[in-house]
Amino acid sequence: MSAATIVRMTDVVDTDLAASEISWDLDGLLNEVGGRDAMALIDKARGIADELQTFKGRISQLDSGELASLMHRLAELSDLVSRAGHFTSLKFSENTSDPVVAADMQQVNEQSTAISTRLLFIDLEWSATSDDHASTVLADERLDFCRHHLENLRKYQPYQLTEPEETVLSETSLAGSQAWVRLFEEQTAAIEVDLDDDMGGRVSLMTALSHLHDPSGSRRERAAQAVTKALEPGLRTRAFIYNTLLLDKSVDDRLRGYPSWISSRNMANEASDESVEALISAVVARYDIPQRWYSLKAQVLGVDRLRDFDRMASVAESESTIGWAEGTRIVRDAYESFSPELASIVGRFIDERWIDAPVRPGKRGGAFCAYATPSHHPYVLLNWTSTARDVATLAHELGHGVHGYLAREQGIFHQSTPLTLAETASVFGETVTNNRLLSMLSDPAEKFSLLASTLEDSIATVFRQVAMNRFEHACHTERREVGELSVARFGELWAQSQEAMLGSSVEVTDGYRTWWSYIPHFIATPGYVYAYAYGQLLALSVYAQYETHGESFVPAYLDMLRSGGSMLPEDLTRIVGCDLTDPGFWSAGLDIVEQQLDRATHAATAAGRI
């Protein structure tokens, strides 16, 4: 074999490991509706907004047919705005440091806000419509495509301001909270971490964090110290951003009359404050589960006590890299074992350039799925580092993807579920993938490694997210009752929330006190994180139904996904045999996580690791 051939083969391997050629094609968002660029779509939407002005002052008198006509036109406008907004925001996610892309996104955001501001009267007038008239018009089947949406809007009436006040808040949002969110995203995307040469040298924050899975304790420690050092330069700025957004939300909540900092999020999630508190209380009461696992993991790793940067350490006796081709094959096969229909959709994501996978300078960290609009297809963003964790992330985000794809038939008003249900399909898909892999393993050590990974996913999604909710709660409460928080105070509250979950099983180091400062959910979507715990426990309960009923369960599951957000969460989950109104529902879900712990413990014993 010639040297040139060896070089070419090496290039192929490196390309596959980095998924460097896996980029999405966003052009369809524009050209499917004849747009030269994003602003051309905004111009079309502006024309529809002009037309809709004729309804101003008449919303509460419209009959069913007139209201249906209005909502269909509003759906067309929303499709155009969503296409333009997603095109520019996804381009920005590719490279947050590109000033041209950032300017394009800002222009679209400004014009979209101007359009939505002109149409504020629709929601306000509809919310003020009498109950008798609303119930009469909503009974018409011509409003099936938007009924649940319109019913939800009416719930916000007690918290809405006058049209002039709402207009001011809408007009100033881009120069206020949204501007601070964008600044945070640009700041965190620019963070680079100086690792030792044997760990890759200067890398992105996401790549550096992936080293926390390394089996070597010294490498994990060096990576953690380097991350802490990299977070330091912009820490005061990120703390100021968070303080500003905490104040902004407190003002908005006070003006609207929300009873607590989390109430508006709960309403958006179609969940009562009481039900969310019940979930959080149930999880906090079972903090012994992660503590028992981390104590066991310390034995497996041969140390007296874990440190915070040891929690994600791999328990595998050897670590292998997984290329894009192998990773996607595993996920395809897993989805195929459950549903050929879902596997076919997964294949389209992989084969038709609906995914952007490689790590790049300036690229937004983490992973997400963007539904875009029902007349198009969703997109998935990853930061692929060729680890087993990346395969699980791919399965997770494609769960979101198939959910959004199947729910497209519900239209733009009902495609998306509340955040509390948004994680159901993603966690379910990840669970299917993990269990498919488990069924293929015979080696006790490999089984333990996979069971440990599955358990740690549940712990991270349920217990860690609730601990982060407790951090958020403390920050919002103190900002309102005491005032601006210092960097040190943020660190104290972060450490306290983590120590409450970890107990004596894990040492929270001083360096870890700043790690709250790169987490985007606190900034962009206050109150979001508990939805992960909600979704994980729900998804595990749904999967338990699948284990009980087998293939006969699949049609009901697909029906739930196709229903999108067209009905209340209680009604959606009833399709698959889950009762969210049962007071014991969350405890039952936590019992499933404890069963995962028991299985991992038995597997550790069988593998001779304890």
Question: Using one digit for the tens of pLDDT, what is the confidence trace for 553-580?
Answer: 999 999 999 999 999 999 999 999 999 8
Global pTM?
0.84
Query: What is the Cα–Cα distance from 115 to 76, expressed in whole angstroms?
Result: 13
Of 175, 208, 243, the last residue of a domain is 175
- With respect to residue 610, please indicate whether it lies within any of the assigned structural domains: no
CB atoms within 10 A of CB 294: 21
CB atoms within 10 A of CB 508: 18
Query: What is the Cα–Cα distance from 252 to 476, expressed in whole angstroms?
Result: 13
Task: Note whether 456 and 411 are same-domain residues.
Answer: no
Q: What percent of the chain has pLDDT over 70?
A: 98
Which own/partner contact pairs does 188-191 have at CB distance under 8 Å and 24+ positions apart?
Answer: 188/238, 188/365, 188/518, 188/520, 189/96, 189/97, 189/362, 189/363, 189/364, 189/365, 190/96, 190/97, 190/362, 191/230, 191/231, 191/234, 191/518
Instruction: Give the residue numbers spanning the domain of 116.
Output: 28-175
- With respect to residue 36, please indicate whether it lies within any of the assigned structural domains: yes
DSSP code string of 32-46: TTT-SSHHHHHHHHH
Query: What is the Cα–Cα distance from 576 to 424, expressed in whole angstroms?
Result: 12
Of 524, 551, 572, the last residue of a domain is 524
Task: Note whether 579 and 462 are same-domain residues.
Answer: no
- With respect to residue 430, please indicate whether it lies within any of the assigned structural domains: no
Query: What is the Cα–Cα distance from 115 to 46, expressed in whole angstroms?
Result: 6
CA angle 255, 149, 246 (to 5 degrees): 30
- With respect to residue 130, please indicate whether it lies within any of the assigned structural domains: yes
Of 503, 524, 545, the last residue of a domain is 524
Task: Note whether 312 and 330 are same-domain residues.
Answer: no
Sign of CA dihedral 503, 505, 511, 517: negative
- With respect to residue 11, please indicate whether it lies within any of the assigned structural domains: no
Helices 38-52 and 99-118: crossing angle in degrees, nearest 10, is: 10
- With respect to residue 225, please indicate whether it lies within any of the assigned structural domains: yes
Query: What is the Cα–Cα distance from 457 to 427, expressed in whole angstroms?
Result: 9
Task: Note whether 485 and 365 are same-domain residues.
Answer: no
Kindly state the DSSP code that residue 578 receives in the 8-state scheme: -
Q: Domain count of the chain? A: 3
pLDDT tens, residue by residue, 65-112: 999 999 999 999 999 999 999 999 999 999 999 999 999 999 999 999
Task: Note whether 517 and 547 are same-domain residues.
Answer: no
Q: Indicate the pLDDT class of residue 584, thresholds 50, 70 and 90.
A: confident
Task: Note whether 513 and 554 are same-domain residues.
Answer: no
pLDDT for position 559: 97
CA angle 78, 273, 460 (to 5 degrees): 80
pLDDT tens, residue by residue, 114-131: 999 999 999 999 999 999
Task: Note whether 351 and 313 are same-domain residues.
Answer: no
Q: What token pair was written down for 186?
A: 């640009």
**For residue 541, which of 575, 581, 588, 584 has the smallest C-alpha distance?**
588
**For residue 260, which of 284, 245, 276, 236 has the smallest C-alpha distance?**
276
Task: Note whether 251 and 399 are same-domain residues.
Answer: no
Task: Note whether 519 and 572 are same-domain residues.
Answer: no
Mean pLDDT to the nearest integer, 348-355? 97
Task: Note whether 71 and 164 are same-domain residues.
Answer: yes
Kindly state the DSSP code that residue 204 receives in the 8-state scheme: E
* Confidence check: pLDDT of 133 > 80: yes
* Confidence check: pLDDT of 534 > 70: yes
CA angle 544, 547, 551 (to 5 degrees): 125
Q: Indicate the pLDDT class of residue 423, thresholds 50, 70 and 90.
A: confident
